[in-house]
Chain A
Amino acid sequence: MFNIEFNTLAEALLMQSQNGQNHGIYVWSVVLIVTLCISISFIFYKYKIKEISKKIK
């Protein structure tokens, strides 16, 4: 259950499937987009709260 599918980092980046296609680009771009969206919204809200607190003070 816990054996790692990919042996090297390059293999993990490419993610070659059995039919020979490289699916890595799709998977990693989705990972990138999700991380970006979530972290940007966290930063945005933290910044906004800080800004409005400063204004009220």
Chain B
Amino acid sequence: MFQVNRAYPYIFYLSLITYLLSIFWGLFLTPEDFVQGNSYRIIYLHVPASFISQSLYLAMAIASAVYLIWKVKLSVYLVRSIAPIGAVTTFIALISGSIWGIPTWGTWWVWDARIVSTLILFIMYLGLISLHDSFNNNEKADKFLSILVLVGSVNIPIIKMSVEWWSTLHQPASITLSEKPAIDLVMLYPLFGSIIGFTGLITCLVILSSKLQIIKREKNKSWVKDYV
């Protein structure tokens, strides 16, 4: 915790600068897209958010598996603290996607698999929070939360593959690990930059949130009193 506190400002400012620079690059320095016009510039805000919203769920699943197997208390604090941030990023992804949809598809909402599954992800984050908060007994709530996160992780591959499995309006992923990117390099560099920067910013949020969670849950311990 103390090491994280020392590293926090570096992470924060580095990722903030990276994010702002690549957003500036994406918004002003890249050429206009031939098909979509200038509205494609939303990609620099939309893709990082949707990428993060899924990765956060994956992180939660790993952390809750760690909790259920090794009973590490910190990992379930992490699960609980990630959930609201995941909800925020999913919200950003949904809103930016639907605003992007207005000029390119002519409609702000389509009932296709990708969008609906992102909405499901949003509802799942909210459901996790409400499940955890409805129990007074914290240990019980921790157990149920981590079970539910693990069971819910079956939805993640469905969200990932939905663009390829079902015919949709949504374009397939622009960047994949295995193949050559389907996007020009000039547009790709700022996209990578914005993903990295946004990831850093969200990491800072997770650090803050888990700090809050730890202080809240351990507030009767003496080291917390020394710390604050």
Q: A4-B29, A17-B39, A26-B100 are in contact. List 4 more A-B contacts (CB 8 A).
A: A17-B32, A23-B41, A23-B103, A38-B205
In terms of DSSP, what is the predominant structure of the interface of chain B? helix
**B192 CB, min distance to chain A CBs, angstroms:** 15
Query: Which of B127-135, B144-152, B210-218 contacts the other chain?
Result: B210-218
CB-CB under 8 A from A4, the residues of chain B are 28-29
* 9 closest cross-chain pairs (CB), A and B: A17-B37, A53-B228, A23-B39, A45-B208, A15-B38, A23-B38, A30-B96, A17-B38, A34-B45
CB within 8 Å for A27 and B208 given contacts A3-B29, A34-B96, A56-B228: no
- Do residues B38 and A56 form an inter-chain contact, with CB atoms below 8 A? no
Residues on A close to B: CB < 8 A?
Answer: 1-6, 12, 15-19, 21, 23-24, 26-27, 29-31, 33-34, 37-38, 41-42, 45-46, 48-49, 52-53, 56-57
How many of B's residues come within 8 Å of A, CB to CB?
41
CA distance A33 to B208 in the complex (A): 21
CB within 8 Å for A34 and B92 given contacts A26-B99, A27-B41, A57-B228: yes
- Do residues A26 and B215 form an inter-chain contact, with CB atoms below 8 A? no
**A29 CB, min distance to chain B CBs, angstroms:** 6
Within 8 A of A (CB), among B12-71: 23, 27-32, 34, 37-39, 41-42, 45-46, 49
In terms of DSSP, what is the predominant structure of the interface of chain A? helix
**Residue in B closest to A51 when the chains form the complex, CB atoms:** B212
- Which single member of B27, B37, B96, B208 contacts A18 (CB below 8 Å)? B37
- Which single member of A29, A30, A37, A56 contacts B219 (CB below 8 Å)? A56
**B218 CB, min distance to chain A CBs, angstroms:** 10
Query: What are 22 contact pairs spanning A and B, CB under 8 A?
Result: A1-B186, A2-B29, A15-B38, A17-B32, A18-B32, A18-B34, A18-B37, A19-B37, A26-B103, A30-B42, A33-B92, A33-B99, A37-B88, A38-B205, A41-B85, A45-B208, A45-B209, A48-B212, A52-B219, A53-B228, A56-B215, A57-B228
